[in-house]
Amino acid sequence: MNFNGKSSKLLEDAIAQFSTLPGIGKKTATRFALHLLRKPEIDVETFASAILKMKQETLFCEICNNISDASICKVCSDNSRDKTLICVVEGIHDILAIESTSQYNGLFHVLGGVISPMDGIGPSDLNITSLIERVRKGGINEIVLALPTTMEGDTTNFYINRKIEAFEVNVTILARGVAIGDELQYTDEITLGQSILNRKPFIKR
């Protein structure tokens, strides 16, 4: 919508800010702004302060670079977790996704991206040195590579593997195959091919 300057400058500012969110156009941004305008002032204060506090007060874990309220994150400081296992991920969103499965009980390491020469991102721009340092210190049995299944993710997988193959540590990668709920006819041929090559016994004996 075009406001032609006939509306409130303050409303327009709020709409402009909401429009900066990923996937949000001016129409949805307007809906958000008007929604908050109808709410009690205390609710809007809570809304604004929660966002500001998140940015100002969250830290990044000194060990794994996960988001944290303290210098060591909840995962790294949790003694019930398997400290011999490190899952390497691109970003914090991947930790949230893996944690939501409840299938992983090891530690994490956030790279902060993947190697991408096209975007000018080299190994030195990522938290790879600190990962190698963790492996060098010993006590790690397995590194699970959970990077994106893209060319850049694969490049990063190979780079990390080469850097740590000198150490006595298993390097594994997430299984790739047909997603649950997917129909075979709509699965791309590379994924389907991999799922045939990596087929496994139907019932484990």
* Among 36-44, 132-140, 155-163, 181-189, the segment contacting a second copy (CB under 8 A): 36-44
End-to-end CA distance of the chain, in Å?
63
Among 79, 80, 102, 103, binds a second copy (CB under 8 A): 102
Q: Is position 100 an interface residue for a second copy (rule: CB under 8 A)?
A: yes
**Per CB under 8 A, which of residues 10..29 are in contact with a second copy?**
10-11, 13-14, 16-18, 20-23, 28
Going by their DSSP bridges, the two strands 142-145 and 85-89 should be labelled as: parallel
Q: Is position 105 an interface residue for a second copy (rule: CB under 8 A)?
A: no
Hey, what are 167's tokens? Answer: 């150490």
Q: Is position 92 an interface residue for a second copy (rule: CB under 8 A)?
A: yes
Angle between helix axes 9-18 and 26-38 (nearest 10 degrees) is 120
Q: Per-residue contact track with a second copy, 49 to 88, x per CB under 8 A?
A: xxxxxxxxxx-------xxxx---xxx--x----------
Q: Is position 99 an interface residue for a second copy (rule: CB under 8 A)?
A: yes
Vertex 98 angle, CA 96 and 99, to 5°: 65
d(CA 39, CA 54): 22
Q: Is position 91 an interface residue for a second copy (rule: CB under 8 A)?
A: yes
Q: Is position 39 an interface residue for a second copy (rule: CB under 8 A)?
A: yes
Hey, what are 12's tokens? Answer: 């327009």
Hey, what are 73's tokens? Answer: 């994150």
Find the shortest distance in angstroms from Cβ 138 to a second copy: 25
- How is residue 85 annotated by DSSP? E
How many binding residues for a second copy (CB under 8 A)?
64
d(CA 33, CA 23): 16
Instruction: Tell me whether residue 95 or residue 164 sits nearer to a second copy (CB atom).
Output: 95
Q: How many CB atoms lie within 10 A of CB 130?
A: 15
d(CA 35, CA 11): 11
Q: Which residues bind a second copy (CB under 8 A)?
A: 1-11, 13-14, 16-18, 20-23, 28, 30-37, 39, 41, 43-58, 66-69, 73-75, 78, 91-93, 95-97, 99-100, 102
